[in-house]
Every structure is written in C-alpha cells, then in structure tokens.
C-alpha cells in the first residue's frame, strides 16, 4: 500500500476519484460529487447506453452541464438537442429537463451546480 503524500502545508489540494464525497448509481447513471463547497457542487455523471438522467437526480438548482465524452440528448422546454463533447447547456432553477444517452457508448458529463438563489446574490 502506497503512503499518501502530505499536502497540508500546500495551497494545492488534490481530490482523488476514490475519495469522492459521495456518489449514487441508479438505472445505469452514476452521479459522483467530486467537489462541494458552500453553495457550489461539481458532479461527474457517467451514463451507460440507454440510460436517462432526470433533473431531480442533480437537484432543483441552476446547473451547467458540460459534455466530456459521448453524445447525449437533452430534452428541455419541449425541445430536443443532441450534444457532443465540448458542448454545454445552462439550465435555470426548476426548469424541467432530461438528458438521455441513446448511443451505444458511455456518455460522461461534468456538472456545475449553483446552490445560491437570486435573493442570496443580492
């Protein structure tokens, strides 16, 4: 077993995949919280072929989803759009949406969730 390097005095903090704060897996979708700070969460979502990510799995907060890998489809506001790696989509608080992976390969999405309301921003 390899010893962990002490970075307590360093301004650099590394978050290892196996040390993620929490994760949940449901029907082919694995959502992993990779960073959480006050009103901000960064999530990594891996979607198996044929799976769907519902908005409630991320929370009812404003979110930006950034596609890292794969070609998922987002359905929001009655509109369906195919996404590709490098594409991102911004969704407002309470907006109904669903992201589906209809392809034969895995899709990976990085999500930034803002837990600050407009009232808290001032």
Q: Tell me the domain boundaries of the chain.
A: 21-116
The model's pLDDT over 30-82, given as tens digits with 9 standing for 90+, comes to 999 888 888 899 999 999 999 999 888 777 889 999 999 999 999 998 999 99
CATH superfamily to which 21-116 belongs: Jelly Rolls (2.60.120.10)
Token duo for residue 53: 């990510």
Indicate the pTM of the whole model.
Answer: 0.77
Whole-angstrom Cα distance, residue 122 to residue 119?
Answer: 5
Alpha carbon separation from 59 to 6, 29, 90 (Å, rounded): 34, 15, 14
Phi first, then psi: give them for residue 120, nearest 5 degrees.
-70, -30
The model's pLDDT over 94-114, given as tens digits with 9 standing for 90+, comes to 889 999 999 999 999 999 999
């Amino acid at each position: 077993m390899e010893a962990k390097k002490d970075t307590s005095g360093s301004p650099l903090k590394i978050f290892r995949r196996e040390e993620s704060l929490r994760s949940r897996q449901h029907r082919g979708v694995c959502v992993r919280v990779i960073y959480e700070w006050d009103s901000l969460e960064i999530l990594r979502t891996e979607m198996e072929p044929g799976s769907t990510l519902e908005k409630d799995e991320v929370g009812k907060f404003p979110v930006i989803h950034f596609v890292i890998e794969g070609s998922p489809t987002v359905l929001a506001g009655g509109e369906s759009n195919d996404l590709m790696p490098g594409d991102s989509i911004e969704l407002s608080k309470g907006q109904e949406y669903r992201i589906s992976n209809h392809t034969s390969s895995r899709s990976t999405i990085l999500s930034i969730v803002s837990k600050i309301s407009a009232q808290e921003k001032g």
